[in-house]
Amino acid sequence: MGDRSAIEWTEATWNPTTGCDQISPGCDNCYALTLSRRLKAMGAAKYQTDGNPRTSGPGFGLTVHPSALDVPRRWKAPRMVFVNSMSDLFHAKVPISFVRDVFQVIAETPQHTYQLLTKRARRLRRIADDLEWPANLWMGVSVENEAQTDRIDELRQVPAAVRFLSCEPLLGPLPGIDLEGIGWVIVGGESGANHRPLEQEWVEAIRNACLAAEVPFFFKQWGGRSPKAGGRELDGAKWDQMPPGRQVTAAQ
């Protein structure tokens, strides 16, 4: 975790849990899994638990870190905070009591805006009514292809201040995407040695749907061998739109 992030749509990261398990095609080239293996080899204390070799890996076993809960309280200046860049808070192995602890920290640090992202939209929806939802928490789901659009329906039932979609890595078109109840959409291509291609028409279709629905649209990257290999421009412009009231100073 750190109080500065290179991710274009946020400013800081906070990982009260680490580790995860692959559950859909968007996980196939998971950057966090690769990074966890490296951190374990370096001796990083938070990355010493191994996960199932079929769905996880060295240093990437789901681990809860109560000692990390106080970190945002030490950040006095307001920040946009991406929660669990190295995990999924709604993983089945995270007790609901710990999810509540995370939400309490968020509520007690209203100077920050928190962006929480999950692929486990069903568990999110099932426990949403058992949580107190702070006004400074944005809740999102990953939607990498058409087969995962059911996650959007689950998200719509969650009483978050802002509901958002992360279509990254976008692996196929999302025809007829329904943005009712959605307040923000991020789109991005995959990066790394095994990156899968991103087609311009897929991105333009989502951008056009956002324009029609008046939903802020953020295009993060085309991807390639490195995150910045393909640049960030779409039709000759950068799309850094955010929900009303907040802008990310680190957007590049």
Is the separation of the CB atoms in 25 and 145 below 8 Å?
yes
Give the pLDDT confidence score for residue 250 in this predicted structure.
44
Rg (Cα) of the chain, in Å, rounded?
17
In angstroms, the CA 198 to CA 231 distance is 13
What is the residue-level pLDDT of the chain in tens, covering all 252 positions?
Answer: 566 788 999 999 999 999 999 999 999 999 999 999 999 999 999 999 999 999 999 999 999 999 999 999 999 999 999 999 999 999 999 999 999 999 999 999 999 999 999 999 999 999 999 999 999 999 999 999 999 999 999 999 999 999 999 999 999 999 999 999 999 999 999 999 999 999 999 999 999 999 999 999 999 999 999 999 999 999 999 999 999 976 665 444
Tally of CB atoms within 10 A around 237: 9
Give the residue carrying structure tokens 């950040």: 75
In whole angstroms, what separates CA 175 from the centre of its chain?
22
Helix, strand and coil percent figures for the chain, each rounded to 5: 30, 20, 50
Angle at 47 between CA 193 and CA 143, to 5 degrees: 50
Give the residue carrying structure tokens 């996650």: 151
In angstroms, the CA 142 to CA 106 distance is 21
Is the separation of the CB atoms in 62 and 21 below 8 Å?
yes
The pTM score is: 0.96
Residue 217 pairs in a beta bridge with 185
